[in-house]
A and B are shown apart, each in its own frame.
Chain A
């Protein structure tokens, strides 16, 4: 069915999408042949989701063009995309949980007078034609992940989609369900549907796809037939950077001496995200924690710092300086010298109505509870000046509102707010996400300085060069626990990535 010369059913040319000055994808060329299964592979933040969201009309291109059957198109909404035959099945399903399967199938296509009985019969016939074993009268929220996915696929087929995009389709499936899913995908292919799927699991990509595209740092690295790839080549292409070309500086050559053990986590369990996780963090060192999305890195450290709301920890032990602790809220953790610098500074980082100095001073007030009943404008100003100088925050004055700063300077404010609390253990979660190039170097320098001063520093990052250039020790997390530990000299990007993917 696939002919080399048929025009691609879907094509991107020099596609670029910029978020707040930072390109998520840059000049990506991509083509999808009719009736092929095309896997897209890459690290977190490589731009896979952005690229497919562009195709599905969820986000719009900053520049470049998109063609369907050789015609220029620019779907503005998912609905537009559906009309030209492109459907996307999301990681979190987009079904309405309180409605039945049939209602979801026909959602948005109801006639003016909608009879439930009618749509149930119609849905039943349609599901049978696809050989999907799903009861159309079942309420979606009661279905398992695999069945929900079937409903989504059925909906896409019902809309006559000729391109179906799957975002991490197998992440929530059991092995049997996965097998069934791949049969489905092959069946769809037989019907002439072209399929794109994003996956972290390389075996899957190698198993079912016809071609594989690898993205790295928002750029397309390579697109090639499946047969030319093996696991080793994929990993190499995913991570194979020339380090001198990244803004992350040189990789580390020296390793700091390990100080006393500050944090020890044993057998920590939390819901489905963290499974019997054990790890240690030492003073005077940077401990890098790498893992893909969903590996439970952030969750583990959020439990340690008391950020995750109570009752989610199911078991295990956390020792801070060999003393068992269990923080239900962040306040006591802060008093005991644990600081967590968030990955989402807008949501849980800074205070947008407050000035730079005001933000930083709130950190001090929170730490010194009971010792400062009245606020002092003088102290606020002085501490503001001090930290602006120490972290080189670029702003006209200390009284500029935090919301008006650039991403890098906002991040520095959030870091200052934690550092003024004089923490012993400081956890940076994606410290340079959405931060400009200059500030990245400065933040990295600061992180090194903190470790040199003897603090226990944890850096959680999805970006390998960042992990490689900062860490003295590297912990790799997969499926809710630390699976591998490297000391910096023995680690390579390939080794780390190998450990992180299954």
Chain B
């Protein structure tokens, strides 16, 4: 019975991958302009940021949490970096400020969730609002912060190509390799899975669960801030109003659709890549089909609901079954 559940788990990944392949092929055949080098590179570039955020989200979700504040972390540290550069601060100062604010933000998130034991959903919902508001009130002069030439030494993050591949895609690949290494090869990565699988069991085993939860949110914040820098470099500015967009739903969509169970302890980088590919193709196809932004939201909403529904069937949360056998 449980063996069947395990094989179902693998097949969710396979199903999503198959849907991606089918969608890709049919778009290539039926959609004019989809299967062209220009469009495909654009597609990849568009989803690279989403993919990097998905990796950050994956680290948190595998540890049985969720980070709604991710888009604020995408916008504010990078926006601050651009703003400081504009105001004449040197590159190193601007970069340092961005990293420090992301680090502190991750620590605060982690402390609230691990030590004050506030559910991650509420913590990050509130902290994300706070950070976005802080950016608007204290840091930014305009909604869109422009790239300054003094930052050009790090513009390679998002600009240009390497062997014909756009840099944001390369950055996605680099972060994917780093996160995969962390999750699969390091002791702390193994602990993240353990905490996500069974937090109480991990604690009893002697794993320091609270510092580990803090670590997850710090990693997520740092990756999120990095995604913001890549984005700023590639579009030459930071549209700080991005916090008000539906981007966070896309990130959750990527993670859940890829097959990382919201109940924790399951999935990995490969799932993020599959999820990103599927969402990227879908968004690109819908844009070419000239589906309105609102209708796109409708479609994404339906897909997210169905994905979460399937997730809760395949990976039931174990609180309900824990009391079985009570005599």
Q: Which residues of A contact B (CB under 8 A)?
A: 19-20, 22, 24, 45, 47, 49-50, 307, 329-331, 333-335, 340, 342, 344, 346-354, 361-363, 365-367, 369, 372-375, 401, 403-404, 417, 421, 434
Nearest A residue to B267 via CB reads: A353
Q: How far is the CA of A372 from the CA of B190 in the complex (A)?
A: 11
Within 8 A of A (CB), among B130-153: none
7 A-B interface contacts by CB (under 8 A): A19-B326, A24-B327, A329-B208, A335-B206, A348-B201, A351-B194, A365-B207
| With known contacts A329-B208, A373-B186, A350–B327 Cβ distance under 8 A | no
Judged by a CB distance under 8 angstroms, whether B36 is at the interface is no
CB–CB B204/A349 < 8 A:
yes
| With known contacts A49-B327, A373-B187, A334–B205 Cβ distance under 8 A | yes
Judged by a CB distance under 8 angstroms, whether B164 is at the interface is no
CB–CB A421/B206 < 8 A:
yes
Contact of A353 among B189, B210, B265, B325 (CB under 8 A): B265
CB–CB B191/A329 < 8 A:
no
Judged by a CB distance under 8 angstroms, whether B291 is at the interface is no
Chain B nearest CB: distance from A337 CB in Å?
11
Chain B nearest CB: distance from A361 CB in Å?
8
Chain A nearest CB: distance from B61 CB in Å?
14
Contact of B3 among A340, A365, A374, A404 (CB under 8 A): A404
CB–CB A366/B205 < 8 A:
yes
| With known contacts A351-B201, A353-B265, A365-B191, A333–B321 Cβ distance under 8 A | no
Q: How far is the CA of A348 from the CA of B200 in the complex (A)?
A: 5
Chain B nearest CB: distance from A292 CB in Å?
14
Nearest B residue to A350 via CB reads: B201
Q: Which residues of A contact B324 (CB under 8 A)?
A: 19-20, 346
| With known contacts A19-B325, A24-B327, A434-B325, A331–B206 Cβ distance under 8 A | yes
Given contacts A24-B327, A352-B198, A362-B191, 12 further A-B contacts (CB under 8 A): A329-B210, A330-B205, A333-B206, A346-B322, A348-B200, A351-B201, A351-B202, A353-B193, A363-B206, A366-B206, A372-B187, A373-B187
Q: Mark B182-223, 1 if CB is under 8 A from A, else 0.
A: 001111011101100110111111111010000000000000
Q: How far is the CA of A20 from the CA of B266 in the complex (A)?
A: 26
CB–CB B6/A401 < 8 A:
yes
Judged by a CB distance under 8 angstroms, whether B294 is at the interface is no
Q: How far is the CA of A445 from the CA of B269 in the complex (A)?
A: 44
| With known contacts A353-B193, A362-B194, A342–B204 Cβ distance under 8 A | yes
Within 8 A of A (CB), among B208-244: 208, 210
Nearest B residue to A50 via CB reads: B327
Q: How far is the CA of A417 from the CA of B204 in the complex (A)?
A: 11
CB–CB A47/B327 < 8 A:
yes
Q: Is the interface of B mostly helix, strand, loop or mixed?
A: helix
CB–CB B2/A401 < 8 A:
yes
Q: Which residues of B contact A365 (CB under 8 A)?
A: 187, 190-191, 207
Contact of B2 among A335, A362, A403 (CB under 8 A): A403
Q: Mark B46-85, 1 if CB is under 8 A from A, else 0.
A: 0000000000000000000000000000000000000000
Q: Which residues of A contact B327 (CB under 8 A)?
A: 19, 24, 45, 47, 49-50
| With known contacts A20-B324, A348-B200, A348-B201, A331–B3 Cβ distance under 8 A | no
Contact of A417 among B184, B205, B322 (CB under 8 A): B205
Chain B nearest CB: distance from A206 CB in Å?
25
CB–CB B193/A330 < 8 A:
no
Contact of B200 among A333, A347, A417 (CB under 8 A): A347
| Shortest Cβ-Cβ A-B pairs, 9 listed | A334-B206, A366-B206, A348-B200, A351-B197, A353-B265, A19-B325, A404-B2, A24-B327, A331-B206
Q: Which residues of B contact A24 (CB under 8 A)?
A: 327
Judged by a CB distance under 8 angstroms, whether B318 is at the interface is yes
Q: Which residues of B contact A361 (CB under 8 A)?
A: 190
| With known contacts A348-B198, A351-B265, A374-B185, A331–B2 Cβ distance under 8 A | no
Chain B nearest CB: distance from A243 CB in Å?
22
Contact of A375 among B190, B198, B203 (CB under 8 A): B190
CB–CB A349/B201 < 8 A:
yes
Q: Which residues of B contact A344 (CB under 8 A)?
A: 322
| With known contacts A353-B265, A353-B266, A374-B185, A367–B201 Cβ distance under 8 A | no
CB–CB B318/A352 < 8 A:
yes
Contact of A351 among B186, B198, B326 (CB under 8 A): B198
Chain B nearest CB: distance from A430 CB in Å?
11
CB–CB B197/A366 < 8 A:
no
Within 8 A of A (CB), among B1-18: 2-3, 6
Within 8 A of A (CB), among B274-327: 318, 321-322, 324-327
Nearest B residue to A361 via CB reads: B190
CB–CB A366/B325 < 8 A:
no
Chain B nearest CB: distance from A7 CB in Å?
30
Q: Which residues of A contact B326 (CB under 8 A)?
A: 19
Nearest B residue to A24 via CB reads: B327
CB–CB B205/A346 < 8 A:
no
CB–CB A375/B186 < 8 A:
yes
Chain B nearest CB: distance from A401 CB in Å?
6
Q: Which residues of B contact A373 (CB under 8 A)?
A: 186-187
| With known contacts A49-B327, A353-B265, A347–B206 Cβ distance under 8 A | no
CB–CB A330/B206 < 8 A:
yes
CB–CB B204/A346 < 8 A:
no
Chain A nearest CB: distance from B299 CB in Å?
32
Q: Which residues of B contact A350 (CB under 8 A)?
A: 198, 201
Q: Mark B158-189, 1 if CB is under 8 A from A, else 0.
A: 00000000000000000000000000111101
Q: How far is the CA of A331 from the CA of B208 in the complex (A)?
A: 6
Q: How far is the CA of A254 from the CA of B117 in the complex (A)?
A: 50
Q: Which residues of A contact B198 (CB under 8 A)?
A: 347-352
| With known contacts A351-B194, A354-B193, A354-B194, A366–B207 Cβ distance under 8 A | yes
Contact of A374 among B186, B200, B202, B207 (CB under 8 A): B186
CB–CB B185/A329 < 8 A:
no
Scoring A50, A363, A403 by chain B CB atoms within 10 A of each residue's CB, the highest score goes to: A403
Q: How far is the CA of A366 from the CA of B205 in the complex (A)?
A: 7
| With known contacts A401-B2, A404-B3, A375–B208 Cβ distance under 8 A | no
Chain B nearest CB: distance from A75 CB in Å?
19
Q: How far is the CA of A26 from the CA of B193 in the complex (A)?
A: 41
Q: Which residues of A contact B194 (CB under 8 A)?
A: 351, 354, 362
Chain B nearest CB: distance from A30 CB in Å?
17
Chain A nearest CB: distance from B270 CB in Å?
16
Q: Which residues of A contact B190 (CB under 8 A)?
A: 361-362, 365, 375
Q: Which residues of A contact B193 (CB under 8 A)?
A: 351, 353-354
Nearest A residue to B207 via CB reads: A366
Q: Which residues of A contact B201 (CB under 8 A)?
A: 347-351
Q: How far is the CA of A404 from the CA of B325 in the complex (A)?
A: 16
Chain B nearest CB: distance from A356 CB in Å?
14
Nearest A residue to B264 via CB reads: A353
Chain A nearest CB: distance from B320 CB in Å?
11
